Amino acid sequence: MCQGPTSTQLHWDKPRAPSREGPCADVPDADSASVLEAMGEACLVGRDDGEFGGTLEVHEAGRVTVLEEPRANPLQAVRVHGTLVVVEGLAHLFGGDGRLVRVEASEGRWRATPWVELPGAPLAHALDEAGNLVVGTTNQRLDEVFCGRAGAFAPAHVLRVTMDGRLAPVEPKGQP
């Protein structure tokens, strides 16, 4: 993330290559995962299959726990105030949708808990100076983009997600 005194620049990182060591080293087909995140002795693995859904799984000690499917379209994992959050979404012919899902272990079991519904498909993200997640989303129909009908007034949002899960628009010059 690039951040100046009055602005936050959003970005979208490609998933990191799997480590040859640690819990993500032996994940099958790790190169095709959209999310690959070490969590202690476990590895969070997300696979995005576009309009066909996807999966969010935890791989650990010879077992795989499927956390959610088939609606999942995991795109990226980011730590927000110490909590692992998966950015999910899909931009499709009829617009886009997205959500944020918290992943955590509780009483020895892994859980993926829907946290925030986003107004459109996520395009980019950053953490602001307070550690809040800032997400850029759009409702632009993909057929309009690819057929050259996308206009300057495409619905797009830049939103700050507070620690308690509230959405607030980000105003020019980085002011909430």
pLDDT, residue 156, reads 79
Question: What does the DSSP 8-state code read for residue 145?
Answer: H
Is the pTM value of this prediction over 0.85? no
- Within 13 Å and on the Cβ side, how many CA atoms surround 5? 0
pLDDT, residue 102, reads 94
145 phi and psi angles, rounded to 5 deg: -65, -50
Collect all residues with Cβ–Cβ distance below 8 Å to 85 and sequence separation of at least 6: 77, 78, 79, 100, 101, 102, 103, 115, 133
SS3 51: helix
Q: Name residue 90's amino acid.
A: L
- More confident call, 146 vs 67: 67
3-state DSSP helix/strand/coil % of the chain, to nearest 5: 10, 50, 40
Summarised one tens digit per residue, pLDDT across range 33-66 is 999 999 999 999 999 888 888 899 999 988 999 9
Least confident of 27-31, 101-105, 121-125, 151-155: 151-155
Summarised one tens digit per residue, pLDDT across range 106-141 is 888 899 999 999 998 898 899 998 899 999 988 766
Please give the angle made by the CA atoms of 134, 14 and 163, to the nearest 5 degrees. 25
